[in-house]
């Protein structure tokens, strides 16, 4: 009887041990956004790997994204790579290790970021390409403003207001798809005028990291090489436009040469109001950030997206789903009815450098 009791106890222990070994792991694995073993009652976690917040425009993106996360009761983990691809790669690795449910990436380098997408997708984590297009057909969504339209609007405005003379083209970073898309669209708009020799492009350059100081140096050289005979400088964003205008200041040419921009930064709007910068492109940031976050949440929940369109990435020759938001040209004539009316910028900020008697009536 004692032997039978001993065997019974031993058998019970073996069965208990086997049950423990075979039981499913209830802990959520790190870096496993696509796994189904996460606590369904936990707050959703969204990672946002940003390239930079140096410019005011990107500071607005971060603030808008954070605010919407709080509004939707979602945990946000935001990283900033400071214009460094290697650092952004590490940021993405860390976000995946933290078990984010979806990943939003504003890439520093469109091609290198494709490897980040591969890592995320291997772990079942959906990826939203934010503002800048990643060179991968595995991204789940591209959310941006109408980048081709921005390129065309800038060139069309320049050509309409300065249909003759020497042009200088200041493009963004060659590693950024937006810069390449805008270059293509700008040159397409300007081609009839260059073919007819109404305008002549006397200088053009991609600017690393969209750096204002590098833009300043390039335009200084262009002015010197052309004996200051330049009528229009087509600049692809406001940060670089600031550098360009500094170069013009040194030559006493500010306000005499057409200068374009993009982003409607506060300092750019002030330059437009003061007649130093000719125009900028207004891209509402809150709808962009909100759309990216809401889409990331839907993708994490495996819900279908609405309002997408097919957008072809010419670099890889593939179409990807996209949501592209509208943009608007802003110049001295419509500051009141655009950025100020929308509450994007205040009357006091925009006209801070304009004498009170030269300002339009406050509405």
Q: Is residue 58 in some structural domain?
A: yes
Distance CA 67, CA 39 (A): 25
Same domain, 352 and 217: yes
Full DSSP string of 99-150: T-SEEEE--SSTTTHHHHHHHHHHTT--EEEESS--S-TT-SEEEEE-HHHH
Task: Give me the tens of pLDDT residue by residue for the chain, a chain 363 residues long.
Answer: 444 445 444 445 444 444 444 433 333 333 344 444 556 667 999 999 999 999 999 999 999 999 999 999 999 999 999 999 999 999 999 999 999 999 999 999 999 999 999 999 999 999 999 999 999 999 999 999 999 999 999 999 999 999 999 999 999 999 999 999 999 999 999 999 999 999 999 999 999 999 999 999 999 999 999 999 999 999 999 999 999 999 999 999 999 999 999 999 999 999 999 999 999 999 999 999 999 999 999 999 999 999 999 999 999 999 999 999 999 999 999 999 999 999 999 999 999 999 999 999 987
pTM: 0.84
Q: Is residue 23 in some structural domain?
A: no
Q: Are strands 75-80 and 328-331 parallel, antiparallel or unpaired?
A: unpaired
Taking every pair of Cα atoms in the chain, the longest distance, rounded to a whole number of angstroms, is: 111
Same domain, 96 and 159: no
Q: Are strands 45-50 and 75-80 parallel, antiparallel or unpaired?
A: parallel
Same domain, 222 and 342: yes
**H or E element, residue 180:** helix 177-195
- Burial state string for 129-145 with b = 16 or more CB within 10 A and e = fewer than 16: bbbbbbbbeebbbbbbb
Beta bridge partners of 170: 205, 235
Domain that holds residue 343: 147-283+328-358
Domain harbouring 275, CATH code = 3.40.50.2300
Same domain, 221 and 279: yes
Q: Is residue 5 in some structural domain?
A: no
């Amino acid at each position: 009887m004692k032997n039978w009791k001993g065997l019974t106890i031993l058998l019970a222990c073996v069965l208990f041990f086997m049950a423990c070994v075979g039981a499913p792991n209830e802990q959520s694995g790190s870096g496993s956004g696509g796994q189904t073993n996460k606590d369904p009652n936990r707050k959703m976690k969204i990672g946002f790997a940003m390239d930079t917040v140096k410019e005011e425009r990107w500071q607005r993106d971060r603030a808008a994204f954070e605010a919407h996360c709080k509004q939707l009761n979602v945990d946000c983990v935001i990283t900033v790579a400071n214009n460094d691809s290697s650092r952004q790669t590490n940021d993405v690795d860390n976000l995946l290790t933290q078990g984010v449910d979806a990943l939003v990436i504003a890439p520093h380098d469109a091609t290198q970021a494709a490897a980040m997408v591969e890592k995320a997708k291997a772990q079942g984590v959906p990826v939203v390409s934010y503002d800048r297009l990643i060179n991968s057909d595995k991204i789940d969504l591209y959310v941006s403003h109408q980048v081709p339209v921005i390129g065309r609007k800038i060139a069309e405005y320049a050509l309409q207001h300065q249909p003759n003379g020497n042009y200088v083209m200041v493009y963004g970073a060659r590693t950024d798809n937006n810069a390449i898309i805008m270059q293509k669209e700008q040159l397409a708009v300007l081609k009839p005028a260059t073919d007819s020799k109404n305008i002549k492009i006397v200088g053009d350059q991609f600017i690393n990291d969209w750096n204002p100081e590098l833009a300043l140096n390039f335009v200084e050289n262009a002015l010197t090489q052309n004996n200051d005979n330049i009528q229009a400088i087509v600049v692809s964003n406001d940060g670089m436009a600031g550098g360009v205008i500094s170069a013009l200041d040194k030559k006493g040419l500010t306000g005499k040469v057409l200068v374009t921009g993009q982003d409607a930064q506060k300092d750019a709007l002030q330059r437009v109001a003061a007649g130093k910068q000719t125009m900028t492109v207004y891209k509402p940031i809150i709808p962009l950030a909100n759309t990216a976050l809401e889409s990331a949440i839907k993708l994490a929940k495996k819900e279908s997206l609405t309002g997408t369109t097919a957008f072809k990435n010419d670099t890889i020759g593939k179409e990807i789903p996209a949501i592209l938001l509208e943009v608007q040209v802003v110049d001295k004539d419509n500051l009141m009815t655009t950025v100020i009316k929308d509450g994007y910028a205040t009357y006091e900020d925009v006209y801070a450098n304009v004498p009170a008697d030269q300002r339009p009536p406050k509405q």
